[in-house]
Amino acid sequence: MSNSSNEAPASSRFANSWHEIDWEASYLKVRELQVRIAKAAKEKQWRKVKQLQRMLVGSYSAKAIAIKRVTENRGRKTAGVDGETWDTPASKWSAIGRMKRNGYKPKPLRRVYIPKSNGKRRPLGIPTMLDRAMQALYMLALEPVSEVHGDPNSYGFRPLRSTKDAIEQLFVNLSRGNSAEWVLEGDIEGCFDNISHEWLIHNVPMDRVVLRKWLKAGIMEQGKYFDTEAGTPQGGIISPLLANWALDGLEPILRERYGKIGSKLAGRSKVNYVRYADDFVITGISQDILDKEVRPLVEAFMAERGLKLSESKTVITNVHRGFDFLGQNLRKYGEKLLTKPSKKNLRNILAKIKSIFDRNKMAITANLIRQLNPVIRGWAYFHKAGTSKETFKYLDHRVWKMLWRWCCRRHPNKGKRWIARKYFTTIGKKNWVFYDSDLKEQSMTLFYASDVAIKRHIKIKADKCFYDPADELYFENRLDYKMKNSEFGLKKAYSLWKRQQRRCPCCNQLITSETGWNIHHVVERHRGGSDNMDNLQLLHPNCHRKIHLAV
């Protein structure tokens, strides 16, 4: 373990509180170590990997970044079994000194349940804040190794990879006239709950003592303690990375058996593999190859890790019948493969929109629009890379019917013409635009899914590594592409983001959809500041709080 005092010039020597930490120096130090870890892993120098990982987890900079991560994500207000949350700068600052390997003993996970779309409940295990921070710390050291040795066509829980990349890769595999016409839809039975602890401990390249403590920490449910004999519970920040590590390795096995993409052997079998988290699809030239050759191979691979395929949900399908994957339906019509939002995904978004109407029967118009817009916009941008225009129009039609019922319910004694004049207007060539007529200065209008232009997604290059300096420029451009083609790109924030060279002016680190962002007024509005671009900055949420605390 390296001496943390060596880190003092980077971030701690001149810091006496949380908001005095030099984040730019901290991120540079951690990034330098991660690049060295990735290089050593690529060269299979495992002793050096272990040494560099010890340096990283012992560094002051990495500990501060780990705490920053777990105190700024969505679950920051959810406590573990100890009821502790780090919601003040003082608590975050003191937590740095508590993050030590020696004497560290994780507390049991707090069991909570969240509803699933099929009516069942998904169990989550919530670690304490200290355990979350320790997991984030060791994750900084493990992720570079995982990126180097991960399956090329694995797209879940990896930097700048997304569901859209997985869908696009499937489109590449299935869209040609001579492409495979059969797919094996893989479903792992309770993946997170059943991964073998012993396999993880002996195969994940990280501190085995700490890993064993996490896996064997146990669960507290309704005041009772239960041992954990298998699995990496959903809710832990490092759980997706551990699951990825367990499932990585299947693609090289398939390539060894059936040949690399583009080879004659691969051309005869057309076996290709795409995975997102624990969902995967394998293509094949015939049903027999997938059923009699590929499936037994996959089952043997999973069995080594304590996993098995679901008998009912693992099916072999012809692309002309279509199949659902990650909220999309992929189906071949003649020689053309189309990707559309799946019927289940459409039902889910309509149910979510209906629940917003149900909760806001007496709300003012502006509040209803504020709640509907991000839901509709986010769903439309998620599906804009497919053949989704007709589905967008159908969604808008259903939303209009809900709006009309909402309006009529509020004004039972008014005529339809009066209701139409009050709540709907014409903008350009578009009629029946729902808006808030009470706002005099600036009208607030509803976002319509059909206004989103259909644009094919450009897939990330599978062989690029986020921690390879040679690919640095590629990922910089990739981040720009991702932000420009997201809902972020429609807002004033995108212009600020580009003007600031994609970085927060406070800490000089990249602003991404994962880090989050706030728009800051240099001269505050209550002091006469305007909303003009010259008076605005895009900041990380923590940097924004830091500036306001200093005022």
Residues 236-252: pLDDT tens digits? 899 999 999 999 999 99
Q: What is the mean pLDDT of residues 115-129?
A: 81
pLDDT score recorded for residue 234? 79
The two tokens of residue 541 are 């949420």
- The DSSP call for residue 5 is G
Please tell me the distance from the alpha carbon of residue 215 to that of residue 217, in angstroms, as a whole number.
6
pLDDT score recorded for residue 14? 60
In 3D space, the residue among 182, 175, 169 whose CA is nearest the CA of residue 275 turns out to be 169
Is it the case that residue 507 has pLDDT exceeding 90? Answer: no
Is it the case that residue 133 has pLDDT exceeding 70? Answer: yes
pLDDT score recorded for residue 544? 81
Query: Using H for helix, E for strand and C for coil, what is the string for 237-290?
Result: CCHHHHHHHHHCCHHHHHHHHHCCCCCHHHHHHCCEEEEECCEEEEEECCHHHH
- The DSSP call for residue 11 is I
Instruction: Please measure the distance between the N-terminal and C-terminal CA atoms of the chain and give it in whole angstroms.
Output: 40
Residue 4 banded pLDDT, cuts 50, 70, 90: very low
Which of 220-229, 324-333, 437-446, 483-492 tops mean pLDDT?
324-333
SS3 at position 325 = strand
Total-model pTM: 0.86
Range in 57-71, 278-292, 403-417, 500-514 with the lowest mean pLDDT: 500-514
pLDDT averaged over every residue in the chain: 88
Please tell me the distance from the alpha carbon of residue 358 to that of residue 72, in angstroms, as a whole number.
31
Neighbour-count burial of 259, counting CB atoms closer than 10 A to its CB (0-12 exposed, 13-18 middle, 19+ buried): middle
In sequence order, the 6+-apart residues with CB closer than 8 A to the CB of 51 are none
pLDDT score recorded for residue 266? 56
Q: What is the mean pLDDT of residues 326-349?
A: 95
Range in 97-111, 314-328, 392-406, 516-530 with the lowest mean pLDDT: 516-530
Q: What is the mean pLDDT of residues 444-466?
A: 93
Is it the case that residue 198 has pLDDT exceeding 60? Answer: yes
pLDDT score recorded for residue 531? 66
In 3D space, the residue among 475, 164, 184, 126 whose CA is nearest the CA of residue 339 turns out to be 164
Is it the case that residue 492 has pLDDT exceeding 80? Answer: no
Is it the case that residue 327 has pLDDT exceeding 50? Answer: yes
Q: What is the mean pLDDT of residues 218-227?
A: 89
Range in 178-187, 436-445, 470-479 with the lowest mean pLDDT: 436-445
Which of 26-35, 257-266, 507-516, 542-551 tops mean pLDDT?
26-35
Residue 491 banded pLDDT, cuts 50, 70, 90: low
In 3D space, the residue among 154, 95, 156, 161 whose CA is nearest the CA of residue 128 turns out to be 95
Range in 52-66, 231-245, 271-285, 507-521 with the lowest mean pLDDT: 507-521
